[in-house]
Amino acid sequence: MMPVIYIPADSGAMALGAGRVARAFEEELFRRGIEAKFVRNGSRGLYFLEPMVEVETAAGRFAYGPVRAGDVPSLLDAGLLDGSDRHSLFLGETDKIPFLARQTRLTFARCGVIDPLSLDDYRAHGGLAGLEKAAALPPLEIVRIVTDSGLRGRGGAGFPTGIKWKTVHDAGADRKYIVCNADEGDSASFADRMIMEGDPFVLIEGMAIAAIATGAQKGFVYIRSEYPHAVAVMREAIRVATAGGVLGPSVLGSGHAFDIEVRVGAGAYVCGEETSLLNSLEGKRGVVRAKPPLPALEGLFGKPTVVNNVISLASVPIILDKGAAFYKDFGMGRSRGTIPIQIAGNVRRGGLFEAAFGLTLGEIVEDIAGGTASDRPIKAVQVGGPLGAYFPPALFDTPFDYEAFAAKDGLIGHAGITVFDDTADMLAMAKFAFSFCAIESCGKCTPCRIGAVRGAETLEKVEAGIRREENLALVAELCETMKFGSLCALGGFTPYPVMSAITHFPEDFAPRPRAEAAE
């Protein structure tokens, strides 16, 4: 059998040199007169091991990493093509690498495994089974299954997906839309990008199921401009899916028409907010719309629209395939199924870890991520992107669950987590939260537009030791106003990072020379 070598074309792996490694393999094998098949797969999400090269043998798939181009001759000498363990970069059977073996991969089951643009490969690994089932069901039955699965929006707000779909289903209109939110603006977030680059058909399949369930005939994937590779892969996947009859006038021969187009954003964090995104899609400035009306009733071009995050939609095919009870069986409380946790910042093992809800924050950052890369103690973990709270180690027993995080004044958001060691200056982080909000504010409402600027100025006074107590009280009051008076969560959630920093790390706001604080 001709050896099959997998080298990721995922942009994270490419940034770490996967392109150079692929070229080195091609040249070295040519020089040695050995023929091999190359598959440019997605990433398995083990970024601390990228570029990770895999080889398929009769005994299974074996991994090596992190591989540099210069390692290629010695890897081949050591018998990489036979999956040999005689090289220091040998990682063993891929599925048995502890970081991967401990995961529950439902949404990401195929990511990094298959050739992302091969529809045959997708089918061979269980793809399209959910859409085939959906195509034979009455739309309301699909909505019921998604509702019963307990799936909640993975974009941040955690709204039940089935209820949103029911509203769009019930709305009478000549046109309806499915809009996939792939703006992925949160810090430490890369799950959407990984799935679009590594398993784009699962998103297409999820969108097609949403379309059949709600009666939509047109879909858009709104992707941030910083993701050119994901844009290219999605466009090609849509072309392949259309040629293969998965999209087009009759989805899988069902008689339902559905097409998808990719649209590229222009780089504003607020364009991830659904109504701002819809304005941007319509060619307008990305300003937040007041709700009501809900996008589910009056969304894109005023028509009923499902706006869902990439991961919400990509989780639907397995729910249709395996049933609501299967999916609901994972998780805790009202947080059902799995969540792709994205671990980043100062950690030893950064990457994507899909698991059922319920792991504690401590298990994730200390055990799975292995603590800090700097070998210093963890000081704070920000969960949920730039609007998420900073949690100290004292809160590491908090389980990954929407309600448990909310009870501790935090949020899960899109499940990106950033780890900081004890050198982090939390006053600087609180100031950054206000500054970020000031820069990214769409300007529609006063608490956010003015409040964020005044907040940063007031914290500067605290830093300079000017009427410290009085100014900290002013910041707390300002945060209350922003929390309850802002039109959307950009202004409304900025108080989370600010107030968590002040509450959990008061020593960083105490009067002392800043030079000492950096010790």
- Tell me which residues touch ligand SF4 (CB under 6 A): 270, 288, 441-445, 448-449, 486-488, 490-491
Q: Is 193 in the site for ligand FMN (CB under 6 A)?
A: no
* Smallest distance, ligand SF4 to C-beta of residue 473, A: 23
Q: Are 132 and 256 in contact (CB under 8 A)?
A: no
Q: Is 488 in the site for ligand FMN (CB under 6 A)?
A: yes
CA 471 distance to own-chain centroid: 36
* Smallest distance, ligand FMN to C-beta of residue 311, A: 8
Q: Is 308 in the site for ligand FMN (CB under 6 A)?
A: yes
**Interface size with ligand FMN, residues (CB under 6 A):** 22
Chosen from ligand FMN, ligand SF4, none, partner binding at 418 (C-beta under 5 to 8 Å by type): none
CA 90 distance to own-chain centroid: 29
Dihedral sign, CA of 206, 208, 213, 216?
positive
Q: Is 416 in the site for ligand FMN (CB under 6 A)?
A: no
Chosen from ligand FMN, ligand SF4, none, partner binding at 181 (C-beta under 5 to 8 Å by type): ligand FMN
Chosen from ligand SF4, ligand FMN, none, partner binding at 155 (C-beta under 5 to 8 Å by type): ligand FMN
- Report the alpha-carbon distance of residue 168 to residue 448 in Å, rounded: 31
Chosen from ligand FMN, ligand SF4, none, partner binding at 441 (C-beta under 5 to 8 Å by type): ligand SF4
Is there a cis peptide before residue 160, judged by omega within 30 degrees of 0?
no
Chosen from ligand SF4, ligand FMN, none, partner binding at 444 (C-beta under 5 to 8 Å by type): ligand SF4
* Smallest distance, ligand FMN to C-beta of residue 190, A: 12
Q: Are 181 and 272 in contact (CB under 8 A)?
A: yes
Q: Are 357 and 330 in contact (CB under 8 A)?
A: yes
* Smallest distance, ligand FMN to C-beta of residue 151, A: 9
- Report the alpha-carbon distance of residue 166 to residue 513 in Å, rounded: 57
- Report the alpha-carbon distance of residue 172 to residue 457 in Å, rounded: 49
* Smallest distance, ligand SF4 to C-beta of residue 494, A: 8
Residue 352's SS3 state is strand
Q: Is 331 in the site for ligand FMN (CB under 6 A)?
A: no
Q: Is 273 in the site for ligand FMN (CB under 6 A)?
A: yes
Q: Which of 200, 272, 388, 451 binds ligand FMN (CB under 6 A)?
A: 272
Chosen from ligand SF4, ligand FMN, none, partner binding at 416 (C-beta under 5 to 8 Å by type): none
Residue 19's SS3 state is helix
Residue of 311, 373, 307 whose CA lies nearest to 186: 311
How many other C-beta atoms are found inside a 10 Å radius of the C-beta of residue 506? 11
- Report the alpha-carbon distance of residue 371 to residue 286 in Å, rounded: 39
Chosen from ligand FMN, ligand SF4, none, partner binding at 486 (C-beta under 5 to 8 Å by type): ligand SF4
Which residue lies nearer to ligand SF4 by CB, 299 or 491?
Answer: 491
Dihedral sign, CA of 133, 184, 197, 100?
negative
Question: In the range 118-177, which residues lie near ligand FMN by CB under 6 A?
Answer: 153-157, 159
Q: 421 forms bridges with which residues in the sheet?
A: 378
DSSP string, 150-196: T-B-TTTT--BHHHHHHHHHHS--S--EEEEEE---STT--HHHHHH
Chosen from ligand FMN, ligand SF4, none, partner binding at 324 (C-beta under 5 to 8 Å by type): none
Q: Which of 41, 94, 309, 335 binds ligand FMN (CB under 6 A)?
A: 309
Which residue lies nearer to ligand FMN by CB, 18 or 277?
Answer: 277
In single-letter form, the type of residue at position 242 comes to: T
Q: Which of 307, 314, 419, 499 binds ligand FMN (CB under 6 A)?
A: 307
Q: Is 490 in the site for ligand FMN (CB under 6 A)?
A: yes
* Smallest distance, ligand FMN to C-beta of residue 388, A: 12
Which residue lies nearer to ligand FMN by CB, 395 or 411?
Answer: 411
DSSP string, 368-416: IS-S-TT-SPEEEEEESGGGSPEEPGGGTT-BS-HHHHHHTT---TT-E
Chosen from ligand FMN, ligand SF4, none, partner binding at 442 (C-beta under 5 to 8 Å by type): ligand SF4
Residues near ligand FMN (CB under 6 A) = 153-157, 159, 181, 183-185, 269-270, 272-274, 307-309, 312, 488-490
